[in-house]
Structure 1
Amino acid sequence: MHAAEHSVRLEQISQERVIKAPIDRVYDYVTQPDRWHEWHPTSLSADTGTTGSLPMGTRFTEVIDLLGIRVPMSYRVQIARRPSEFKTVFTSLAVDGSLHYFLLPHQGGTLFKRVLTYETELQLATLHDRMIELSTLALDQLKHRLENTPAV
């Protein structure tokens, strides 16, 4: 039975959207975790201790809603290469992993790719499907927000 106890699977969700907004603007917006709640449905709040896009090495915290449970997350920015790449690794009691953003200029706008890699020991059959749904919703909201609000 010991093998079943440690059935931690590495999961990955990779999605992309073409956003009709300049690459610098998209990068600056998505690399401000304290604004993630504006477009990502699981993000309740983040505390970065600063404003603006986060540089490499920055540590910050976020509270997410994981299927109705408030989970405090700890992050560290691993890659901050404006305007093309941003990666942060995270850990919590429920889930560990990384968020990796790739940005490319695309027909006057931006091709934005978000790759979420995570592992969890939670035995929740619906979790991965729900994460895909939430990720889809998040990117749709991000696209809508960046295309329909004035630059900030």
Structure 2
Amino acid sequence: MNAVEQPNRLERISQERYIQAPIEAVYDYVTQPDRWHEWHPTSLSADTGTHGSLPAGHRFTEMIDLLGVRVPLSYRVQIAVPPREFKTVFTSPTVDGCIHYVLQAQGSGTLFKRVLSYETELQLTTLHERMTELSNQALEQLKQHLENA
């Protein structure tokens, strides 16, 4: 490795929200990638080839807007344990990683945790900060959407 190259660093964004909705309803909604565009600002569309919550092993694609650039992602669902856990891994020409949801019933609502882990060769100094802001916005929109449903 020469002096200019830097190894890819795994970045991690972990956030959680209390959502005043039953755990089954939250799980069912967040595990439908073709609905992610309804609450996540970077999601443009997803093609799952099916309807409803996705099982482990299922593959699908998503088109995202990564700081103004359309990026196609290919996914595989690694973990699907209704209504508590869902994890999918993704790859693309510019970014690879995983999205992990952990849900916990709390009273009449749900504690929803979303962890995005990713690595990229893009050398953008503001990328992680912007991804954190977008993730925060996504969880706020998810909370509002589910609580007002």
* TM-score, length basis structure 2: 0.98
The answer to whether structure 1 residue 36 and structure 2 residue 36 are counterparts is yes
Aligned length: 149
Q: Which residue of 2 aligns with 1:53?
A: 53
Q: CA separation of 1:108/1:132 partners in 2, compared to 1, >3 Å: closer, same or farther?
A: same
State the SS of the aligned residue for 1:21: coil
Identity over the aligned pairs, expressed in percent? 74
Q: Which residue of 1 aligns with 2:138?
A: 138
Instruction: Name whichever of 116-125 and 1-10 sits farther off.
Output: 1-10
State the SS of the aligned residue for 1:123: coil
How far residue 4 of structure 1 moved from its aligned partner, in angstroms, is: 3.8
The answer to whether structure 1 residue 86 and structure 2 residue 86 are counterparts is yes
Q: Which residue of 2 aligns with 1:117?
A: 117
Q: Which residue of 2 aligns with 1:72?
A: 72
Report the AA paired with residue 39 of structure 2.
W
Q: Which residue of 1 aligns with 2:15?
A: 15
Q: Which residue of 1 aligns with 2:107?
A: 107
How far residue 101 of structure 1 moved from its aligned partner, in angstroms, is: 0.2
Task: Give the whole-Å Cα distance in 2 for the aligned partners of 1:108 and 1:120.
Answer: 39
Q: CA separation of 1:102/1:5 partners in 2, compared to 1, >3 Å: closer, same or farther?
A: same
Q: Which residue of 1 aligns with 2:63?
A: 63
Report the AA paired with residue 120 of structure 1.
T
* TM-score, length basis structure 1: 0.96
- Structure 1 segments (4+ residues) deviating >3 Å: none
How far residue 6 of structure 1 moved from its aligned partner, in angstroms, is: 3.9
**Cα shift readout 1:10-58 (whole Å, capped 9, x = no counterpart):** 0000000000000000000000000000000000000000000000000
Report the AA paired with residue 119 of structure 2.
E
How far residue 3 of structure 1 moved from its aligned partner, in angstroms, is: 5.3
How far residue 5 of structure 1 moved from its aligned partner, in angstroms, is: 1.7
Task: Give the whole-Å Cα distance in 2 for the aligned partners of 1:113 and 1:4.
Answer: 36
**Cα shift readout 1:81-100 (whole Å, capped 9, x = no counterpart):** 00000000000001000000
Report the AA paired with residue 43 of structure 1.
S
Q: Which residue of 1 aligns with 2:25?
A: 25
Report the AA paired with residue 23 of structure 1.
I
Task: Give the whole-Å Cα distance in 2 for the aligned partners of 1:4 and 1:55.
Answer: 42
State the SS of the aligned residue for 2:10: strand
